[in-house]
Amino acid sequence: MPAFPEKVAVKICGLTSVEAAAAAVRAGADFGGLVFHPASPRNLSLDAAWSIASALRGKLKFAALVADADDALLAAIIEAVRPDYLQLHGKESVARTQDIRVRFGAVIKALPIADAADVAAAAPYDAVADMLLFDAKPPKGADRAGGHGNAFDWTLLQGRRFDKPWFLAGGLDVDNVARAIALSGAAMVDVSSGVESTPGVKSAERISQFIAATRHPVQA
What are the tens digits of pLDDT across the range 114-161?
999 999 999 999 999 999 999 998 766 544 454 446 799 999 999 998
From residue 142, how far is each of 110, 118, 139, 159, 179 by CA, in Å?
A: 16, 18, 6, 30, 27
In a domain, 1, yes or no: no
pLDDT value of residue 138:
78
Query: Would you place residue 4 in the very low, low, confident or very high pLDDT band (cuts 50, 70, 90)?
Result: low
What per-residue confidence (pLDDT) applies to 204? 98
Query: Do residues 192 and 14 make contact, with C-beta atoms less than 8 angstroms apart?
Result: yes
**What is d(CA 107, CA 195) in angstroms, rounded to the nearest whole number?**
24
Q: Do residues 43 and 35 lie in contact, with contact meaning Cβ atoms separated by under 8 Å?
A: yes
Instruction: Look at residue 3 and tell me if it is in a domain.
Output: no
Mark residue 182 as left, alpha or beta (left: phi above 0; alpha: psi -120 to 50; beta: remaining).
Answer: alpha
Is the per-residue pLDDT at 5 higher than 70? Answer: no
Mean pLDDT of 69-98: 98
In a domain, 171, yes or no: yes
Q: Write out the residue range of the structural domain in which residue 148 sits.
A: 9-213
Is 7 a residue whose pLDDT tops 90? Answer: no
State yes or no: pLDDT of 70 exceeds 50. yes
| Cα angle 196-198-199, degrees, rounded to a multiple of 5 | 85
Considering the domain boundaries, does residue 4 fall inside one?
Answer: no
- Predicted model pTM: 0.92
Q: Is residue 113 part of a domain?
A: yes
The pLDDT > 90 percentage for the chain reads 86
DSSP state of 96: H
In the chain, alpha helices (H): 18-27, 46-56, 71-81, 94-104, 116-121, 177-184, 204-213
Residue 144 has a pLDDT of: 44
How much is the average pLDDT of 103-113? 97
- Considering only residues 144 and 29, tell me which one the structure prediction assigns the higher pLDDT: 29
CB 30 within 8 A of CB 10: yes
CATH of the domain at 173: 3.20.20.70
pLDDT at 142: 47
Give the chain's domain count.
Answer: 1
User: What local confidence, expressed as pLDDT, does residue 150 receive?
Assistant: 79
Q: What percent of the chain has pLDDT over 70?
A: 90
On whether residue 206 sits in a domain, the answer given is yes
In a domain? residue 153? yes
Look at residue 218 in the predicted model and tell me its pLDDT. 66
Mean pLDDT (the chain, rounded): 92
In a domain, 66, yes or no: yes
pLDDT of 51 reads 97
State the Cα–Cα distance between residues 103 and 105, nearest whole angstrom: 6
The confidence score (pLDDT) of residue 215 equals 86
Q: What is the C-alpha to C-alpha distance for residues 201 and 196, in angstroms, rounded to an integer?
A: 5
